[in-house]
């Protein structure tokens, strides 16, 4: 069996834990609990004929005075970078985090998730931004996800798993 460590990163409150919970347990809670440090989950997925055990490191959200502990990123094979679709300021945060990660780990497979797609009224990420993100390192998959409804959640994690096997 292949095991891969992936890290889910982003600004605080973008929905990293909810996305992980939706992917691993198919559950969603309206309650917001800030992640302290790191929370680790595991889910086995099938990529073609290969079983991949994804060890998902849900790392606390990046805040102004609380930077991500880079040691948690060590050994990660892939990254999921999460942006809040209702908060445009989470885009630059996500890009900053990604830059730091790439400084430490080099360029590794990454998927952008723009979360909270169910909040259509509050949505404020223009399509231009989405296109720019998709052009990161020539091509990076971008998904508009909803941890609440499960929209594109599994799809995006599976995409990353696929990228990990192919890389």
Q: For binding to another protein (CB under 8 A), which residues are involved?
A: 1-5, 37-38, 40-42, 52-53, 55, 57, 69, 71-72, 74-77, 164
Q: Is 125 helix (H, G, I), strand (E, B) or coil?
A: coil
Classify residue 33 by burial, with Cβ atoms within 10 Å: 0-12, 13-18, 19+. exposed
Shortest distance in whole angstroms from residue 109 CB to another protein: 13
Q: Which residues contact 131 (CB under 8 A, 6 or more apart)?
A: none
Residue number, 3 or 135, with CB nearest to another protein: 3
Shortest distance in whole angstroms from residue 100 CB to another protein: 15
Residue number, 82 or 164, with CB nearest to another protein: 164
Shortest distance in whole angstroms from residue 138 CB to another protein: 24
Neighbours of 73 (CB within 10 A): 20
Shortest distance in whole angstroms from residue 68 CB to another protein: 11
Residue number, 133 or 164, with CB nearest to another protein: 164
Residue number, 35 or 129, with CB nearest to another protein: 35
* Spatial distance between the Cα atoms of 42 and 23, rounded to a whole number of angstroms: 10
Shortest distance in whole angstroms from residue 57 CB to another protein: 7
Residue number, 1 or 33, with CB nearest to another protein: 1
First to last CA, the chain: 17
* Spatial distance between the Cα atoms of 40 and 56, rounded to a whole number of angstroms: 6
Q: Is 109 helix (H, G, I), strand (E, B) or coil?
A: coil
Neighbours of 151 (CB within 10 A): 17
């Amino acid at each position: 069996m292949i095991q891969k460590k992936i890290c889910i990163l982003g600004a605080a409150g973008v929905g990293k834990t909810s996305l992980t919970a939706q992917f691993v347990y198919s559950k969603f809670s309206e309650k917001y609990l800030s992640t302290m440090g790191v929370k680790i989950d595991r889910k086995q997925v099938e990529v073609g004929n290969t079983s991949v055990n994804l060890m998902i490191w849900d790392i606390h959200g990046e805040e102004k005075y609380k930077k991500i502990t880079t040691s948690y990123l060590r050994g990660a094979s892939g990254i999921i970078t999460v942006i809040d679709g209702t908060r445009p300021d989470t885009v630059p945060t996500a890009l900053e985090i990604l830059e730091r990660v790439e400084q430490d780990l080099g360029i590794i497979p990454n998927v952008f998730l723009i979360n909270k797609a169910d909040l259509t009224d509050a949505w404020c990420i223009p399509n231009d931004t989405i296109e720019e993100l998709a052009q990161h390192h020539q091509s990076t998959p971008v998904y508009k996800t909803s941890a609440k409804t499960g929209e594109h959640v599994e799809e995006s994690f599976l995409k990353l798993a696929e990228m990990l096997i192919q890389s």
